[in-house]
């Protein structure tokens, strides 16, 4: 636990405003080792990519043992901190969630506030904050203050004009013990700057849509991630390779 606690502290210290932790999300041992070799200081997973790689849905029905087995293999294969994308926690109570993370060698997690019992809806922010608080308390009791990246799904469900709700949820989640606020689909550097100023905390944004890593860094982001983008790019490369090899050629 001492080693895991130190690793969690190291992960937390990498969230620096204006010098963000850049993450290329992985889904298995091979992808994790590749991103580390490329220079990633952390391995963070994508639940969507892990689920798709197994032919399973990225929802609450995903088998919990399979997720933590995958996380354990990844953590065993790399020498950098590992953070796990865990949807809303797969229905696990806070103590079991923390125990499973630590047993897998994982020191951080994403937890989102979508309500998977009501597709397209979100949890009440008070309930989502209460869950985050319970995870923080369980982690402290376990002796490892895991890094909690609180995913806010407001832009996903309500569009880019919902910043007021993102701010309300962000404040609640930080007060509950989150280390970083992650409004998924946050790409506008101007909005990033506004959130950084008003929340005064690490913000996770998404490069893409014209927003570059330097743009988002200059806006004050502390963490940048791409979700399943690398996984989809890998499949696209496979499609191209297959097409090149399987397309009949016409003899000249």
pLDDT over 70 at 250, yes or no:
no
Residue range 183-197: average pLDDT? 98
Predicted confidence at residue 117, as pLDDT, reads: 85
Do residues 128 and 166 touch, judged by C-beta distance below 8 A? no
Summary mean pLDDT of the chain: 96
DSSP assigned state of 211: B
Give pTM, 2 decimals.
0.95
- Per-residue pLDDT at 62 exceeds 80: yes
CATH 3.20.20.60 fits 2-240, yes or no: yes
CB count, 10 Å around CB of 12?
18
Confidence of residue 251 (pLDDT cuts 50, 70, 90): low
pLDDT digits (tens, 9 = 90+) for 206-216: 999 899 999 99
pLDDT at 17 over 70: yes
Distance CA 129, CA 117 (A): 18
Residue 252 or 200, more confident: 200
Q: How far apart are CA 1 and CA 185, in angstroms?
A: 34
Mean pLDDT along residues 174-201: 98
For residue 205, what is the enclosing H or E element? strand 204-205
Q: What is the pLDDT of residue 144?
A: 98
Distance CA 194, CA 129 (A): 22
Tens of pLDDT, residues 129-173: 999 999 999 999 999 999 999 999 999 999 999 999 999 999 999
Q: Give the number of other CB atoms < 10 A from CB of residue 90.
A: 19
Q: Which is it for strands 204-205 and 121-122: parallel, antiparallel or unpaired?
A: unpaired
Phi, psi (rounded to 5 degrees) for 183: -80, 95
What span, in angstroms and rounded, lies between the C-alpha atoms of 92 and 100?
10
pLDDT value at position 119?
86
Give CA angle at 226 (238, 24), nearest 5°: 70
Give per-residue pLDDT as tens, 65-117. Answer: 999 999 999 999 999 999 999 999 999 999 999 999 999 999 999 999 999 88
d(CA 172, CA 152): 11
Question: DSSP letters along 119-176, please?
Answer: TTEE--HHHHHHHHHHHHHHHHHHT---EEEEEE-HHHHH-TT-HHHHHHHHHHHHHH
Domain residue spans of the chain:
2-240
The SS3 of residue 45 is strand
* Contact status, residue 111 vs residue 88, Cβ threshold 8 Å: yes
């Amino acid at each position: 636990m001492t080693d895991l606690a130190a690793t969690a502290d190291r992960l937390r210290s990498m969230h620096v405003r204006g010098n963000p932790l850049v993450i290329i999300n992985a889904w298995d041992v091979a992808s994790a080792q590749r991103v580390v070799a490329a220079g990633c200081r952390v391995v963070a997973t994508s639940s969507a990519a892990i689920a798709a790689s197994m032919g399973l849905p990225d929802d609450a029905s995903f088998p919990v043992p399979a997720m933590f087995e995958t996380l354990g293999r990844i953590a065993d294969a790399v020498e950098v901190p590992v953070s796990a994308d865990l949807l809303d926690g797969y229905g696990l109570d806070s103590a079991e969630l923390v125990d499973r993370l630590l047993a897998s060698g994982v020191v951080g997690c994403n937890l989102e506030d979508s309500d998977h019992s009501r597709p397209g809806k979100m949890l009440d922010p008070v309930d989502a904050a209460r869950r985050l608080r319970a995870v923080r308390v369980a982690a402290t009791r376990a002796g490892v203050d895991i890094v909690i990246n609180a995913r806010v799904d407001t832009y996903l469900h309500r569009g880019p004009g919902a910043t007021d709700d993102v701010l309300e949820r962000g404040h609640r989640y930080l007060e509950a013990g989150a280390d970083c606020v992650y409004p998924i689909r946050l790409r506008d550097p101007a909005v990033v700057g506004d959130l950084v100023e008003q929340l005064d905390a690490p913000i996770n944004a998404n490069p893409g849509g014209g927003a570059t890593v330097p743009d988002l860094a200059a806006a004050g982001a502390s963490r940048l991630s791409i979700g399943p983008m690398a996984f989809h790019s890998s499949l696209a490369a496979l499609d191209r390779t297959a097409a090149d090899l399987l397309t009949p050629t016409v003899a000249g």
